[in-house]
Amino acid sequence: MSTMIKGFSAIVGLIAILILVAFVRSPINPEVWEPPKNPGFTGGFAPNSDLASMVLLPVPGHGPEDVSCTADGSMITGLEDGRIIRMTLDGSFEILGDTGGRPVGLQAMPDGSVIIADALKGLLRLQPDGSLQVLANEFEGRQILFADDLDISSDGVVWFSDASQRFSIDGFMLDLLEASRTGRLMSYNLATGELKSHLEGLFFANGVALGPDETYVLVNETVTGRVHRLWLKGERAGDSEIFIDQIPAMVDNISFNGEDTLWVASPNPRDALDAFADKPLLRRLVGGLPAWVSGSLEEHFSMVSAFDLEGHLIKSYGDADARLNQITSVNECDGKLIMGSLISNSIGILELPHD
């Protein structure tokens, strides 16, 4: 019996030491925060299988987080290894270039170039000949750590998000745990090179989309399930507000279909981080664990949602089997939803019902 007690005590002591080590080595200083109301997956967000019929188009690599549709009907995406590729619906592809980083947001330009938000390299421009130009990788003497998503106005202003001023993509989970809210919405003028910061204090700034007539720009705040709006024109120019609230899932990229619908991609439910919002010590402990431990806690989840131009939910689309797991982008192109995922090897394509 005494041997058993000694053995148990040794195990308890070892666990205590491991917990202490994890706590001390943790690189985060979590803050208490109050989550917005979470309605849960009820009403219009109730689980459904409307994504189950999507077609999966394999890509020659991993992690096509954002997929940009082009005027000729092809798609452009960036992969985990830094390659930028053009794909067609039959699966054929060509390599346009390589950022040497991690491209996570991009948009094709009329001149054949591609503007890229690269989580490791900043804001880039890939020319048709494959050459790469750094547009912006620092602001006010500090590195842009996590350029994430972008949209481009007709007058050549790139609106983009800097997800965190604390961690880059390799440590994105640490930013979610810390809750220091250092994300921001920025702009870069392609003609003048002027770089500005417009909205700060965002809890992991993510998807960016210009609204109708470019009267406003939207930016997603991942952890809170919120979409913020910054007015660009009219009497309210310069004002900002919460445009969409109480989404029960985290929000990644956002897009406007050019007519009447905003699409939001959701890679994970909010529940877990909401539950630990008032437990900073526990979050600090988790932040000190090996990355594979926190990564193993991620769920299989698929959801995209359609909103009208007043910010009201039209419909959510889901898939219990999460065949395209953790959808990070959604764009409506020629009657189809084109979806990307940071952790998948495929692009998802869903034919929308015809009116």
If you average pLDDT over residues 202-227, what whole number do you get?
A: 98
What does the domain layout of the chain look like in residue ranges? Answer: 48-351
pLDDT recorded at residue 294: 59
Query: What is the spatial order of strands in the sheet that 103-108 belongs to?
Result: 103-108, 114-118, 122-126, 132-136
pLDDT(9) > 80: no
CA separation for the pair 12, 48 (Å, rounded): 45
Helix and strand counts by DSSP (H, E) for the chain: 5, 26
- Strands of the sheet containing 346-351, edge to edge, are 55-58, 346-351, 336-341, 327-333
Query: Are 219 and 227 within 8 A, CB to CB?
Result: yes
Count CB neighbours of 51 within 10 A.
23
- Indicate whether 296 pLDDT > 90: no
pLDDT digits (tens, 9 = 90+) for 177-194: 999 999 999 999 999 999
Q: Report pTM.
A: 0.93
The residues that bridge with 68 in the sheet, in sequence order, are 76
State the average pLDDT over residues 129-141: 98
According to the model, what pLDDT value does residue 27 have? 87
Return mean pLDDT, the chain. 92
CB 286 within 8 A of CB 25: no
Q: What is the spatial distance between Cα 103 and Cα 122, in angstroms, rounded to a whole number?
A: 9
pLDDT at 355 over 80: no
**Per-residue model confidence as pLDDT tens digits over 77-94:** 999 999 999 999 999 999
Picking from 120-129, 142-151, 291-300, 327-336, which range would have the lowest pLDDT averaged per residue? Answer: 291-300
How far is residue 52's CA from residue 45's CA, in Å, rounded to a whole number?
Answer: 16
The predicted pLDDT at position 290 comes to: 78
2 pLDDT exceeds 90? no
Q: What is the mean pLDDT of residues 258-270?
A: 97
Note the pLDDT of residue 284: 92
CA 309 remoteness from chain centre: 21
CB atoms within 10 A of CB 170: 12
Mean pLDDT value of segment 275-298:
80
| Residue 348 pLDDT greater than 90, yes or no | yes
Higher per-residue pLDDT: 64 or 31: 64
* CA–CA dist 71, 224 (Å, integer): 34
- In this model, does residue 8 exceed pLDDT 80? no
Question: Model confidence over 86-126: pLDDT tens digits?
Answer: 999 999 999 999 999 999 999 999 999 999 999 999 999 99
- Architecture, CATH, for domain 48-351: 6 Propeller (2.120)
Q: Which of 4-8, 184-188, 263-267, 317-321 has the lowest mean pLDDT?
A: 4-8
Residue 6: pLDDT band (50, 70, 90) is very low
Identify the three-state secondary structure at position 172: helix
Output the pLDDT for position 14. 46
Is residue 68 pLDDT above 50, yes or no? yes
